[in-house]
């Protein structure tokens, strides 16, 4: 595996992303280090190769968005939409994440060591998200599939209008959104949670410390008695 380093104070981000999209496929596999991120937007977005990317510094909007196959580590915090629409691979944010982390993500694993902002996992479609801190309001809004694990607290309207996603919260929940309710945790649910905690580096945290939230399934089909919740 080739080791390559790019410094964004010397090489324009457009050239770095072009290399990650095109030229890296000729190499087959690579370990790429990006220095001096300095809040640049769309770093390592749209990757489609089994490469390792380490970003040093804070990333701006949509870092590692649309990721496929790559393993991306951000050694800092990330702006809005980190790992947005991720399909596979892993994205690890060692700091905090802003709004809409993991939005519409279809697959893969997003790990956030710190807190995440509003709408974490909005419209989640099958990916797994593990947040080491707390999440903001409307996290899991319209989430359809996958798992959202929160080791801290959750803000208002958690899981509003969700479908079949599992939301595991270790701390306090300020309020639940429309059609979201606490669920009994089965052995299968606990196994899924334990696996995700281990993959995210929290193997010493016990699944029994969490509560599980999911859909009450009252909004699947329109019913006049539930009109106020739509």
CA separation for the pair 215, 143 (Å, rounded): 10
Banded model confidence at residue 223, pLDDT cuts 50, 70, 90: low
pLDDT higher than threshold 70 for residue 32? yes
Share of the chain above pLDDT 70, in %: 93
Q: What is the mean pLDDT of residues 101-110?
A: 98
Q: Which domain holds residue 90?
A: 2-229
Residue 218 has what pLDDT? 85
pLDDT higher than threshold 60 for residue 33? yes
Residue 1 has what pLDDT? 55
Residue 227 has what pLDDT? 56
pLDDT higher than threshold 80 for residue 224? no
Which range, of 32-41, 44-53, 169-178, 219-228, averages the lowest pLDDT? Answer: 219-228
The answer to whether 188 and 169 are in contact (CB under 8 A) is no
Q: What is the mean pLDDT of residues 4-22?
A: 94
CA separation for the pair 177, 159 (Å, rounded): 5
pLDDT digits (tens, 9 = 90+) for 75-103: 999 999 999 999 999 999 999 999 999 99
Banded model confidence at residue 60, pLDDT cuts 50, 70, 90: very high
Sheet holding 125-131, edge to edge: 2-7, 30-35, 52-56, 71-75, 90-93, 109-112, 125-131, 145-150, 166-169, 211-215, 180-183
Residue 117 has what pLDDT? 98
Provide the domain count of the chain: 1
Residue 28 or 175, more confident: 175
Residue 24 has what pLDDT? 80
Q: Tally Cβ neighbours within 10 Å of residue 132.
A: 21
pLDDT digits (tens, 9 = 90+) for 126-151: 999 999 999 999 999 999 999 999 99
Residue 22 has what pLDDT? 86
Q: What is the mean pLDDT of residues 40-62?
A: 96
Share of the chain above pLDDT 90, in %: 88
CA separation for the pair 109, 200 (Å, rounded): 9
Pairing of strands 180-183, 71-75: unpaired
pLDDT higher than threshold 80 for residue 26? no
The answer to whether 8 and 36 are in contact (CB under 8 A) is yes
Q: What is the mean pLDDT of residues 10-38?
A: 89
pLDDT higher than threshold 60 for residue 229? no
Distances (CA, A) of 100 to 105, 148, 155, 217: 10, 13, 14, 24
- For residue 185, the domain's CATH number is 2.160.20.60
| Conformation bin of residue 18: beta by default, left when phi > 0, alpha when psi is -120 to 50 | alpha
């Amino acid at each position: 595996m080739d080791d390559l380093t790019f410094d964004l104070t010397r090489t324009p981000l457009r050239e770095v992303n072009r290399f990650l999209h095109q030229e890296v496929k000729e190499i087959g596999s690579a370990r790429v280090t990006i220095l001096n991120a300095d809040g640049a937007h769309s770093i390592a977005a749209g990757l489609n190769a089994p490469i390792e990317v380490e970003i040093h510094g804070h990333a701006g909007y949509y870092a590692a968005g649309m990721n496929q196959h790559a393993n991306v580590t951000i050694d800092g915090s990330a702006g809005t939409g980190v790992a947005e629409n991720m399909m596979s691979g892993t994205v690890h944010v060692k700091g905090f994440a802003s709004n809409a982390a993991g939005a519409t993500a279809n697959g893969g694993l997003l790990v956030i060591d710190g807190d995440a902002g509003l709408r974490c996992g909005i419209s989640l479609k099958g990916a797994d998200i593990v947040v080491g801190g707390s999440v903001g309001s409307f996290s899991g809004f319209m989430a359809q599939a996958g798992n959202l694990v929160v080791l801290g607290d959750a803000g208002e309207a958690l899981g509003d209008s969700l479908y079949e996603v599992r939301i595991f919260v270790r701390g306090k929940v300020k309020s639940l959104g429309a059609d979201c309710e606490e669920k009994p945790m089965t052995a299968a649910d606990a196994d899924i949670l334990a696996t995700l905690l281990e993959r995210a580096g929290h193997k010493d945290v016990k699944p029994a410390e969490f509560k599980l939230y999911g859909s009450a399934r009252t909004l699947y089909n329109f019913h006049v008695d539930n009109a106020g919740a739509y």
